[in-house]
Amino acid sequence: MTATAPVLPRWFTDVLESPGVRWNARERHPGMLNLKSCELQHPVSDRLVREAAAALDTPDLRSYPYQDVILDVLSAHHRVSRDRLLLTAGSDGAIGLLVDALARAAGRLLLGEPVFEGWPYYAALRGVPTTRVTTLAGSPPRYDLAPLAEAMAAATGPSVVALSNPGSPSGIVASPHAVEELAELAERYGHILVVDECFGDFVGVSHTGLLDRYAQLVVVHSYSKSFALAGLRIASVLAAPEVVEYLSRFRPDSAVSAAAVSMLGRVVGQTGQFRAVWRDVAAIRSRFAAAVRTAHPDWQALAPGANFVTFVTGHLDVPHALATHLAGRGVRIRPLTGLPGLDGCVRFSLASDAEMRHVASLVAEFRPP
């Protein structure tokens, strides 16, 4: 018998041709200082995470996770009732869940851009129509949510509306009043407003206080950045109890490991020490931004930032040229040219004070093309 190559079903080959949906896994870059991914890199947080990891016991790895204790801890931490909390495998898992459970049902996703890449990716994967609205204006850019508000009012049907605050990757913060106005519009026009506050702990921004007033508000809160747990992939979705109950039917808890739950409980118990870390990160950011601007006085640092700083260089080709310059010296950063409202911008996530002083000296050597 002649062997023939296995053939996939026709319907699956059609799925493979989904337009614009491809994913490349993260790659390691040994020996490079990673200032691209915005992981929290600080000696004190490293110590706190190391101590928490040392306290893990065999059941934390052997057993299925139980969330009753951690939900009580997070309820007190966020000052919300436990029935408003749902754990997910990182904010990426939360966004995939919200697209699956809410955006597909609503029929449209309305993005306040720039926004985390997971939103348009999962929408394309699920075939959810997407409207993109730029929410940054001017130079240096600032938040302008009026176009997003107009799009919400003009929409012909319900949408899931997604916004990052603080902005990622800009680091710009929208005012509480402006966000609350969007929540009011969501209620008026039948939308769901999702606010991703992934970097909020670094600048004291939280939207959970609005949940009691707006049933159509959903908040995504990641612990990857502020508690240095990026490797464990853990976040919360905070929403009205009815929304949390519905989302729980998709069983996101099954993707959150017992080790992640245990570690989160331990580090949240050290919030006071992490707050000191966040304050020191802000000081490191200020010193680094000042050093860079001494070498390149025409660049502007966007405030307030988070555990990163974004610079407006004023030239479209500078960000990639700078990234090339630093890559040759063992440092990875993120050029932002091409993102809505951020042409000519470049982002540095932050590491220790000594490492950032070294990086500032490398930036000082850079000569723009």
308-312 β-sheet, strand order: 300-301, 308-312, 345-349, 334-335
Query: What's the rounded Cα separation, in Å, for the pair 182 and 133?
Result: 14
Give the model confidence (pLDDT) of 227-286 as tens digits.
999 999 999 999 999 999 999 999 999 999 999 999 999 999 999 999 999 999 999 999
Q: What is the pLDDT of residue 176?
A: 87
Write down the pTM of the prediction: 0.93
Residue 303: how many other CB atoms lie within 10 Å: 15
DSSP secondary structure of 100-140: IIIIHHHS-EEEEES--THHHHHHHHHT--EEEEE-EETTT
* 3 state SS of 68: helix
Tokens read off for 239? 């929403």
| 17: DSSP letter | T
Could you tell me the domains of the chain?
A: 29-43+272-365 (3.90.1150.10), 56-268 (3.40.640.10)
DSSP secondary structure of 304-359: S-SSEEEEE-S-TTHHHHHHHHHHTTTEE-EE-TTSTT-TTEEEEE---HHHHHHH
The whole-number average pLDDT for the span 130-137 is: 96
Handedness of CA 279, 230, 174, 80 (dihedral sign): negative
Q: What is the pLDDT of residue 9?
A: 82
In terms of Cα–Cα distance, which of 218, 222, 246, 227 is closest to 88?
A: 222
pLDDT at 18 over 70: no
Average pLDDT, the chain: 94
Q: Which amino acid is at 258?
A: A
| Contact yes or no for 289/301 (Cβ under 8 A) | yes
In terms of Cα–Cα distance, which of 51, 54, 70, 64 is closest to 262?
A: 70
Give the model confidence (pLDDT) of 94-123 as tens digits.
999 999 999 999 999 999 999 999 999 999
SS3 content of the chain, % helix, strand, coil (to 5): 45, 15, 40
In terms of Cα–Cα distance, which of 274, 234, 291 is closest to 93?
A: 234
The whole-number average pLDDT for the span 286-306 is: 95
| Contact yes or no for 236/62 (Cβ under 8 A) | no
| Contact yes or no for 248/98 (Cβ under 8 A) | no
